[in-house]
Structure 1
Amino acid sequence: MADPGPLASSDAALRPVEAPRLAEVLGVTSVSLLPQTRNETGTFKDNEAVLVAAKCREWGLRSVAMHSSGNTARAYQHYLERAGIACTGFVPKASAHKCPTMSLGRSAIVAVSGNMVSAANAAIAHSEAHDAVRLTPSQWKIEGKVPLGLAIAEHCRDTTLIAVTIASGYGPLGMERGIRRARSVGLPSVSTHSYRLFQADDAGVMGAAIREGRDEIDPNDMVPPERAFEPTLQSTNPNRTLPLMRRFLARTGSRIDAVTPDRVERSAATFTDGCAEAGVPLDYALEKSAHICWAGLVEAAREGLLSPHERLTIVVSGSAPQDRQS
């Protein structure tokens, strides 16, 4: 692979911080926050974007097109432009506010009427008309989350439970790959652990398919609503990771739960305050992803599903306030 050099993402985003106030609320031994909002673009997508930019540079690409619900386009634009590659990203208008730099050098983000399917179609049309390579979800999206697992293995070796909000599951698959990779080469790693994964209930097709024992998700169920509770979590391709996630959940004793908007609203202030106290930037108005995870954990604690002995690592995967983004 080409030397990523200046493409490296933020080291601060891979150094967990303790949040004793949040541990007290959940009634667990400890809570560590993996502060992905400390990345340069203020989002969880930077590690993936660094890897994709390095590969595109290695392949000698000059122009690429892609679609996303916001954060991925923002991160890809940032790092691909830095790598000297023009990136045109297409996002639904409903989530275009997540992209403060609609234009950056030769790279642009284009807001599209409609939903994620509309954005995907726009990216296809652009790639055909402008000879731009279209970047689609791939193995690199899993590999791009490996650094999170390595960070947990290095800094949170006593973790018993990892919590994160997901769309199609690339995140936990990559994190587990990182943890296992550390162990395989004799590095310090996490011992017995499981995952609590959360989805907004209007974007919970992956979890529903697994709970219902389905082998495939109907394409009609993958069309996201026009007014999603959290647009970042909408995905058009969970069938790609469905069998991988089914095996992963069984192997790690983990689960996926849906979270309703009212639960997120009720618990948002507590999580925002706890993150602020720990020095983790987060903006509920800009994105609710991390708050969905927190609301799911609060509900699990209320139902007695969290052991007082848990040592919990929460991956803070929302967005930083835009004035904190580069």
Structure 2
Amino acid sequence: MDTTSAFEGLVCPGTDEHFDAGTSHHPEGRPLDAVYDYDSMTLSREQLESRPTGPAKYAELLPFPPDARFTLGEGATPLVEAPALAESLGVGRVVVKDEGRNPTGTFEDRGLALAVAAARQHGAEDVALATTGDGGQSAAAYAARAGLTSHSFVPTRSTFVTKAMINVHGGDMRVVEGRYPDAEAAFEEGAADEDWYSLQEFATPYRHEGQKPVMYELLEQLDWSVPDAVFYPFEGGSGLVGMHKGAREFRELGLVDDVPPLYACQSTGCAPVVEAFEAGRSSHDPWEVPDTVCGGIELPDPAGGELVQTALRESDGGAVATDDEDILESAAAVASREGIEMSASAASAASALWSVADEYGPDDTLVLVNTSAGTKDADLLRSHLMGQGF
């Protein structure tokens, strides 16, 4: 395999068992995590600041070198100031890490770019996943770039945009009646009979590994200061776990002094992570009756439960659930006050911030991660406005 010099292979966080870089998935289905020789790195703030944006910027901290990846220009997303939001919330500063600017309009591009590169390195010809929608579009795009065939299992409620673009990218798509768990069950049934490389969250270690640069970029864009909180719409655990790992690595390398508190944001109609955090449990129980219009965060039994709770607790963060009506209203408010387009699911972060704003003050810097572009949910957001009489 073509790997970077500091990449040492994989470890099972639950058992501390080590695997070499040629391992694609844990033989018993448990999550794996990439490990590196940090002592061999001599990264400094000045070095990173002098490098151009692009796939080579954080090369030492990723498993595969730039020429072994299949970039579409993902990453290097802007950090957008939101002064009107800060003023209305009574806090010092609000900034939006706008992941909707990625090639397919979603933060999923980062993780799936790396996971598809791993699949190619492992000799796969077909990649597959169950997805609420965005991940399928992203996987189809990167599989096309790498010369692989993608198979996506999506629920009927997935948006027209994502389903259409999966096909446009040449991906094979199975639309499954019902919600995400039904798509997941169909994926598992289909995968049992096929030689597919799984791109499921935490089945491959490379989706959360590919999300680390969100945090690298964020901390550099904040001039190496650690924000007082980062609000992440819980569209799966890979983003949150990856950002937490990225912050820990920067602290390990002496680039920052601390890890920012991370908050998982969900809908009250489907909030297993929030429920587990508030109960002090190490992992969540499946949510029995999911019911939210925000399809990207309707995950009743998300993968990586223990890793997610560990990231929240070790970062001194938390978990917040708000009603769908508040989430949709927050998406409209961010767009109308700041011009920033957030999808309905992504707006759960803004809604969560509004609900806990009184815990912060004029000296605090707060970050919203916009996980996907507002155009993904244009019909839903417009329908909400029409219901308000607009």
* Bin of the TM-score, shorter chain as denominator length: 0.7 to 0.9
How do residues 279-290 of structure 1 correspond to structure 2 at under 5 angstroms?
A: 280-282=340-342, 287-290=343-346
1:133 pairs, out of 186, 197, 216, with 197
- Cα pair 2:251 2:259 within 8 Å, conserved: no
Q: 1:170 to 1:84 in 2, by over 3 A?
A: same
- Cα pair 2:69 2:113 within 8 Å, conserved: no
How do residues 178-193 of structure 1 correspond to structure 2 at under 5 angstroms?
A: 178-187=246-255, 189=256, 191=258, 193=260
**Deviation digits for residues 157-215 of structure 1 (CA, Å, limit 9, x no counterpart):** 2322211111453322211211221232343x364632233111112111102212335
Instruction: Supply the AA of the counterpart residue of 1:173.
Output: V
Name the structure 2 match of 1:295: 351
* Structure 2: stretches of 5+ with no match in the other structure: 4-63, 379-390
Name the structure 2 match of 1:93: 156
1:103 match: secondary structure:
helix
* Per-residue deviation, 1:81: 1.3
- Cα pair 1:164 1:293 within 8 Å, conserved: yes
Once the two structures are aligned, what percentage of the paired residues are identical? 25
1:123 paired to 2:187:
yes
1:37 paired to 2:104:
no
Instruction: State how far apart, in whole Å, the 1-side matches of 2:282 and 2:82 are.
Output: 39
**Deviation digits for residues 106-130 of structure 1 (CA, Å, limit 9, x no counterpart):** 4223221112222122223333444
- Cα pair 1:259 1:296 within 8 Å, conserved: yes
Name the structure 2 match of 1:214: 281
RCO higher in 1 or 2 (8 Å CA, sep ≥ 6)?
1
**Please, which moves more after superposition, 291-300 or 163-172?**
163-172
- Cα pair 1:145 1:170 within 8 Å, conserved: yes
- Cα pair 2:264 2:273 within 8 Å, conserved: no
1:28 match: secondary structure:
coil
Instruction: State how far apart, in whole Å, the 1-side matches of 2:187 and 2:331 are.
Output: 34
Instruction: Supply the AA of the counterpart residue of 2:197.
Output: V
Q: 1:274 to 1:108 in 2, by over 3 A?
A: farther
1:56 paired to 2:123:
no
Name the structure 1 match of 2:332: 269
**Deviation digits for residues 23-55 of structure 1 (CA, Å, limit 9, x no counterpart):** 112111111211100000011211001111110
1:46 pairs, out of 96, 102, 109, with 109
Q: 1:136 to 1:26 in 2, by over 3 A?
A: same
- Cα pair 2:133 2:154 within 8 Å, conserved: yes
Larger radius of gyration between Structure 1 and Structure 2: 2
1:154 paired to 2:188:
no
1:111 pairs, out of 175, 178, 181, with 175
* Per-residue deviation, 1:12: 4.2
Name the structure 2 match of 1:200: 267
Q: 1:190 to 1:262 in 2, by over 3 A?
A: farther
**Please, which moves more after superposition, 78-87 or 15-24?**
15-24
Q: 1:203 to 1:322 in 2, by over 3 A?
A: closer
1:169 pairs, out of 224, 237, 240, with 237
Instruction: State how far apart, in whole Å, the 1-side matches of 2:217 and 2:152 are.
Output: 29
1:305 paired to 2:369:
no
2:269 match: secondary structure:
helix
- Cα pair 1:89 1:109 within 8 Å, conserved: yes
Instruction: Supply the AA of the counterpart residue of 1:300.
Output: V
- Cα pair 1:9 1:46 within 8 Å, conserved: no
Q: 1:224 to 1:70 in 2, by over 3 A?
A: farther
**Please, which moves more after superposition, 167-176 or 198-207?**
167-176
**Deviation digits for residues 271-307 of structure 1 (CA, Å, limit 9, x no counterpart):** 112442xxx444xxxx312211111111212xx2122
1:272 match: secondary structure:
helix
- Cα pair 1:96 1:111 within 8 Å, conserved: no
Q: Which has the higher helix share?
A: 1
- Cα pair 2:269 2:292 within 8 Å, conserved: yes
2:152 match: secondary structure:
strand
Instruction: State how far apart, in whole Å, the 2-side matches of 1:161 and 1:318 are.
Output: 20
Instruction: State how far apart, in whole Å, the 2-side matches of 1:197 and 1:143 are.
Output: 18
